[in-house]
Structure 1
């Protein structure tokens, strides 16, 4: 990726992928929370132990969120390799052009606190 600051353009390496994700899972209702919470947002339980999960998964849905006074924000639903579904942001994923089932890898946290994923490059084998 090329970054231009107005003074001098330079090459910027993309952030390396994460090896695992850390999240809280409610013991009572199995809700997954990526932000630090004292109470479960669904059942208000205080039993939220930290767990680790894989940082890879596949896109399984798209959600458009609109709030009064703000523009539309598009989030994606990613199913991690262990079966947990996560609402997150996916960078460089044009809506309508990203196929369901596309493989993604976690690269960090978005400014709003949601997990940030990147679409993995497609490796195609040429057959003759």
Structure 2
């Protein structure tokens, strides 16, 4: 079954098991690129390899951005389990309410190459 870009299938609140975060990594400077490039924008190397990364991470920073006349949007930086930091969009995040360190899971990648994450519900511990 094919799902159009920008839409995703979920069953309830669980994430689909086939979601994968793929990116290019430069062999020379280790820069991570989420959009397809021919040259590394940092060192101009042509030696880019395709990798797939972890689908979980933690929020590092949350910023509320807004310009006069445009709707405000939230910019979030997420650190993946392997140490890569990604500027992305996170569903269910509110600046000032959601704290850095909150766990997130990848939901998909937008057509413009920006990864989309969702806040992972934290299981409460029994006292």
State the TM-score, normalized to the length of structure 2: 0.77
Query: Matched residue pairs, number?
Result: 116
Structure number with bigger Rg: 1
Deviation at 1:73, TM superposition (A): 3.3
Structure 1's unaligned 5+ residue stretches are: 1-11
Q: 1:47 to 1:66 in 2, by over 3 A?
A: farther
Runs of 4+ with deviation above 3 angstroms: 12-15, 17-20, 63-73
Aligned partner of 1:79 in structure 2 is 79
Q: 1:70 to 1:27 in 2, by over 3 A?
A: farther
Structure 2's unaligned 5+ residue stretches are: 1-10
CA distances 1:8-61 after superposition (whole Å, capped 9, x unpaired): xxxx84663655311101112211001111111222221110111110000011
- CA separation in 1, counterparts of 2:67 and 2:39? 24
Root-mean-square deviation (CA, aligned residues, Å) is 2.4
Larger relative contact order (CA 8 Å, sep ≥ 6): 2
Q: Is the 8 A contact 1:93 1:119 kept in 2?
A: yes
